[in-house]
Structure 1
Amino acid sequence: MTNVAVVGAQWGDEGKGKVVDWLSERADVVVRFQGGHNAGHTLVVDGEVYKLSLLPSGVVRGKLSVIGNGVVIDPWALFSEIDRLSAQGISVSPDVLKIADNACLILPIHGELDRAREEAAGGGRIGTTGRGIGPAYEDKVARRAVRVCDLAEPETLQFKLDRLLTHHNALRKGLGADPLDGTALLDQLREVAERFGPYVAPVWQILDEARRTGKRILFEGAQGAMLDVEHGTYPYVTSSNTVSGQAAAGSGMGPGAVAYVLGITKAYTTRVGSGPFPTELQDAVGERLGQRGNEFGTVTGRRRRCGWFDAVMVRQALKVGGVDGIVLTKLDVLDDMDELKVCVGYELDGRHIDHFPSGMAAQARVRPIYETLDGWRDSTKGARSWADLPASAVKYVRRIEELIETPVAILSTGPDREETILVHDPFAD
């Protein structure tokens, strides 16, 4: 059976939630492998809207859902999300959800540090969600993090917290914040430890068993390739690897576990927070895209910056991420426009370049080179086949395929899971 990884191919918010939900109906296991509750996936199922942050999208379908070791977990955010879904009639029991015992935790001190740093940075803010994801990954890499498994070992937990606070109190002093003694935090962790227990498992074993018995595994990415800590627009990136290679490391499986990589990209471009954005439109067209596309963050509610489709950036993201086919989402947002523009190259200091440069200053200086295409007046919303699309819409999609050098596997024409045109089934390979 083919296992599929779904990753974002822009700056996140590409519509991965709908795609993962659509695919999860045929999957047996759904795995989150990086990020934290800064991610936001919106699912629309039979008219009901579900907003997920930490939980894999498979929980809504009752599929076995795994939070892998590559994710950083805020226990309070996680259980709040579980309780919210319960109020909507979705039971997230330990039979449905498994949490990696070697995943690291996000603690309240991480969020405090995250927000304090952003405040101190002033105009140099990176644009984080302030939820502590970055500081938690820092502690993970520095080998001082508290992990899920530590909750079951009181002596280890005390040792880990003491070591962690030695570092954090020095940082807090530098930022003018009061030091912490850890007693209240220890009590808070003891309270959540009991609820965590039934969900915790060595998930690498569960996934290995699933693979060996021929079950289909769907790896669900968060954010997008251009927010990858190594391949994105550094330093305006997230703190984890968002490309498909992380699906293996962040779940405890080998790279051979992923047979097909599906990249998600909007028919235009959006970005939340700070950082370079060559095709950004700060005019009536950008405003129109934002309004028609309902471009507000699922997690933060922040308004997204909008612009034309950037084929240079997406092509680079697809190659770095090893993407086999894309899902093109929100095509319907472009309805009723006389003409559309697509970025086909950049100008940097008088030179034509065909890639997004790595340098921070160079990224800020690049200017888009556009190709203009005909728009269309007929609606594409809800289209279920190519025959339902206006000729100009089909030409737009085909031109994008040429420019990004990757085929469209699925075309999304609306937020509902059935508003989808399947060109190639990722699970069929």
Structure 2
Amino acid sequence: MEHSHGAHRADDIEDARIKDLTERFRQTLSTKRMNELVSRSVSRASSPAPRDFGTPQPPPSVSDAQLPTYSSLRNIPLVPQAPQDARSLRFKNMLHSLSNMPIRWENPGLLDEALRVVPLEQIYNEAEEESQILQAEAESLGAGKKAAWGYQDCVVRALLRWFKRSFFTWVNNPACSRCYSPTIGVGMAAPLPDEQARGANQVELYKCSVEQCGAYERYPRYNDAFVLLQTRRGRCGEWANCFSMLCRAVGSRVRWVWNAEDHVWTEVYSVHRKRWVHVDACEEAWDKPRLYTEGWGKKLSYCIAFSADGAMDVTRRYVRNVSKHAVERNRAPEAVLLHIMDEIRAMRRSNMSKQDKFRLEGEDMRENRELRSCVISSIAHEVSKLSVEDIMNGRSSRSRADPDTQKALEGRTSGNSEWIRARGEGGRGQPNPQDPRNRQR
């Protein structure tokens, strides 16, 4: 009996000691993490550290070898850091160069010229009709219900339909200008002075497939939205450039979204929904951010949105399932990318009033919450697919359709079938080879 009592007492002492060591360990980690954050702030702002955070001494009963490293704690929260290595500096210079694209659309003369080619009466009549239908649908659901989209959203949706169906033309291989036969790509050529003056930094060279003809066809890749109003043809770079400018012309705030896997598209700010909406003119796609992953089968690394007001890393909007659809982000550390985004925002907003800066900062905060919710909802959906049997048997979750992805399950429609297959964008799960002809420089 005494032996049993002594054993219980020894167990209680051991439990108390383990509990005490655990609490000391938790406090040590917390203090160490806070000291790291303070030291980073000191090095960045050159201000003295608060006196409350002295260097903690480890508990005498716990050796360093017993403490786990938890390297992920170093990134909570993420502190912006200026680029230091050559690779990060190149990435910074590239992003700064890309950020100039939306600035070109702020030219009043360009926007006036754009409005001359847009059938405004048709666009606004369609927008008015759709807006009334959406409002009626909302009222039928009960008092106080909000329409799905506002009037200005309907204007952009009407502009999207007209642009895709009537205005712009997709080009894979330009037809021979002499005999109108198909052509075959033979490489690149240096731009002529006239082509360079109109914004073409690269020219693709094609040869007529008819042996008797054998003519060569030049295809300049124009980056000037004014020139694109005349040519009205191209691939995703030209489509996104021209369409985004037209959205700006009809009064919407726009973004130009660059993707490292060789695609670009548009985002339009919805005042009605108080958020940025994905728009892809090539696909006539509205608010389908999962189109490229669940639909085309692509894996994405960086999706950076540039506007006249700054820049934002919006990858989380387009990559919901990191394990399935993400590619390693290795062009720069995440803290460096955060610094670059802050740098571009500060540069674009330097001459704004305090009121405008405050408004934009509020939008940034809302968008960051939205992007976090994208990740959280994706994790919650994956967890909801688990069953007790799956967990006990070590099986992965059974496939179950996500209602939010049903509208993005189609493959790519712009471009011919051979070109789509070569890029691996015909549907989910296909490989994603890169086609250098469609890179936007």
TM range (shorter): under 0.3
Q: Which has the higher strand share?
A: 1
Calculate the TM-score normalised by the size of structure 2.
Answer: 0.23
Calculate the TM-score normalised by the size of structure 1.
Answer: 0.23
